Amino acid sequence: MPTTAVADQRRDTFRVSKHKRSLPGVRTRIRKTLADWGISGTLADDVTLSADELVSNAIRHCRVTFALIEISVSVQGQALLVEVSDPDRDRIPRLRAPGPDEESGRGLYLVSQLADSWGHRHGRHSKCVWARFVIADRGC
């Protein structure tokens, strides 16, 4: 899908299947979109890594068998927003503090450290986990 630009708001929204093999394509698409918007460096790294973690969580935890995961990256004023939606409305993300020997469970913690804020909201038939990055504070 093409990136859309309307006035001061830029948005790229796309869907991928709920499979680990989708992750490289997600990272590539987000990197390209950010580069097209002139966003690079640490901010691009943080956004890409956060999106990767949110999509990984959706793939791992969504209980809907043939689900599509929707990813949206947008610039809204002085903020960049990453939103990852899946159709498993009842599985709410939970920030954990995994032990040093645990092999997983650090995704949301990492997002909470990289993003200026994060959270989730419910849609009628889905949930969306989002991460917000203030552009002005980081530079591009």
Q: Is the dihedral of CA 20, 24, 27, 32 positive or negative?
A: negative
Helices (H) and strands (E) in the chain, counts: 4, 6
Listed ranges 2-16, 38-52, 56-70, 84-98; the one with the highest mean pLDDT: 38-52
Residue type, 92: I
CA distance 81 to 85: 13
Residue type, 4: T
Which tokens go with 102?
Answer: 């645990």
Phi and psi at residue 139, to the nearest 5°: 75, 165
pLDDT digits (tens, 9 = 90+) for 68-106: 999 999 999 999 999 999 999 887 888 777 777 776 677
Residue 90's nearest CA partner among 63, 117, 53, 60 is 63
> Residue 123: is its pLDDT beyond 90?
no
76: β partners: 9, 79
Please give the model's pTM, rounded to 2 decimal places: 0.87
CA distance 138 to 108: 21
User: 15: which residues sit within 8 A by CB, 6+ positions away?
Assistant: 68, 69, 70, 71
> Residue 113: is its pLDDT beyond 90?
yes
Q: Are 39 and 80 in contact (CB under 8 A)?
A: yes
Q: 27 to each of 47, 53, 71, 122, how far by Cα in Å? A: 10, 10, 11, 25
Listed ranges 50-54, 65-69, 120-124; the one with the highest mean pLDDT: 50-54
